[in-house]
């Protein structure tokens, strides 16, 4: 990559991924049952080597992967991303035994992972976790509830964040790997606007020990943020992929739809709106790539850059898809239409992994931190 232009090999790879998403993965996604894990789709992602790339890619490659899959099949993109989100803490903070037990089946599409952070009273304020990890017989007992957990209750294991209480706030949170069959753990699906399962989890004295720790006691919030800092710019890439799909559909529609003695694209109001959609999409794409490059380079500006990338990309995708629907008219709202699908899919990324308002708070905090550091020199 030179500047923010992709190299020829990267462009070719993205093109192959878009074709794969549309030709092989989308038919599998369409056969899946809404609100259930699509295991044949996961198996196909594994056969194509894409699940394995979750654990060998840098942030930029992960963004290109998610953007390209989102363009052709949002369900495939989400299935892949959720495997990464749930299993990446195992890769980064897990023991050798944990990695050897769980990562090979995740890579093979046989084990379903989930990232269990949110709770009924701790969504955007992730440091306000209430799930308790109480000391017991050389380990802990987990008691409480998790909510809005993607892949729950069908996952095979969960990365769970609980309060062990070494210190208040984020410093008292510990991460655990909890297999789904652990006694005392149950869950139920939630009826959400989502093609993949989202559910709640109930922990009724679930026993965990030192062998279940991901990292050190009291350092779980760092494990969560390490994961989110990698995946937030790629959430932006997911959004960019949807925006590009909506933009291309709009270009084709407005260039061919007869209206008022010409085609829709001849109308200045329409052409200008499409130009605005394209400009915003390109700006979001470049900001996502810049954030990914900063992450790969180990830049101290990563928190600010990834927050900016997720914020702009998800808000831009909402804008582009909404205007694409407007320019298509009623046909875009028919069940099965690409834009009807994107219109449902595009809303959630503005909330999960830190809502837009959370990203604004992070950006402002990092900006003022820079001002203070300059003043103290």
Which residues are catalytic, by number?
353
Q: Are the C-beta atoms of residues 175 and 213 closer than 8 Å to each other?
A: yes
CA dihedral 88, 93, 96, 100 (to 10 degrees): -20
What whole-number distance in Å separates Cα of residue 225 and Cα of residue 85? 11
The phi, psi pair for 200, rounded to 5°, reads -110, 155
Residue with tokens 């090999």: 9
DSSP 8-state class, residue 25:
I
What whole-number distance in Å separates Cα of residue 231 and Cα of residue 197? 19
Closest by CA position to 63, among listed 296, 255, 262, 340: 296
Q: Are the C-beta atoms of residues 314 and 322 closer than 8 Å to each other?
A: no
Q: Are the C-beta atoms of residues 232 and 309 closer than 8 Å to each other?
A: yes
Number of C-beta neighbours around residue 70 at 10 A: 32
Adjacent-strand bridge partners of 186: 202
């Amino acid at each position: 990559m030179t500047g923010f232009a992709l190299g020829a090999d990267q462009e070719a790879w993205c093109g192959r991924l878009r074709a794969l998403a549309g030709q092989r993965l989308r038919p599998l996604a369409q056969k899946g049952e809404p609100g259930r894990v699509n295991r044949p789709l996961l198996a196909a992602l594994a056969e194509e080597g894409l699940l394995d790339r979750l654990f060998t890619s840098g942030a930029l490659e992960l963004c290109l992967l998610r953007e390209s899959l989102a363009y052709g099949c949002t369900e495939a993109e989400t299935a892949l991303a959720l495997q990464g989100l749930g299993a990446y803490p195992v890769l980064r903070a897990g023991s050798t035994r944990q990695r050897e037990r769980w990562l090979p089946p995740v890579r093979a599409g046989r084990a379903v992972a989930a990232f269990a952070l949110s709770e009924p009273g701790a969504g955007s304020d992730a440091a306000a976790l209430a799930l308790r990890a109480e000391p017991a017989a050389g380990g802990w007992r987990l008691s409480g509830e998790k909510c809005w957990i993607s892949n729950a209750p069908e996952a095979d294991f969960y990365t769970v964040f609980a309060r062990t209480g070494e210190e208040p706030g984020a410093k008292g949170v510990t991460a655990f790997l909890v297999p789904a069959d652990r006694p005392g753990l149950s869950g139920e699906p939630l009826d959400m606007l989502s093609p993949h399962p989202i559910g709640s989890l109930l922990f009724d004295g679930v026993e965990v020990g030192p062998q279940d720790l991901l990292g050190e006691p009291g350092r779980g919030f760092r494990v969560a943020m390490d994961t989110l800092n990698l995946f937030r710019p790629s959430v932006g890439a997911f959004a960019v992929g949807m925006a590009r799909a909506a933009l291309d559909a709009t270009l084709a529609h407005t260039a061919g739809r007869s209206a008022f003695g010409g085609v829709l694209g001849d109308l200045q109001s329409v052409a200008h709106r499409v130009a605005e959609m394209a400009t915003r999409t390109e700006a979001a794409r470049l900001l996502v790539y810049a954030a990914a490059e900063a992450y790969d380079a180990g830049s101290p500006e990563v928190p600010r850059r990834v927050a900016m990338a997720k914020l702009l990309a998800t808000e831009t995708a909402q804008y582009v898809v909404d205007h694409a629907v407007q320019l298509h008219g009623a046909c875009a709202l028919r069940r099965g239409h690409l834009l009807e699908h994107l219109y449902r899919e595009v809303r959630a990324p503005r909330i999960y992994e830190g809502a837009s308002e959370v990203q604004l708070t992070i950006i402002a905090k990092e900006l003022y931190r820079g001002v203070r550091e300059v003043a103290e020199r």
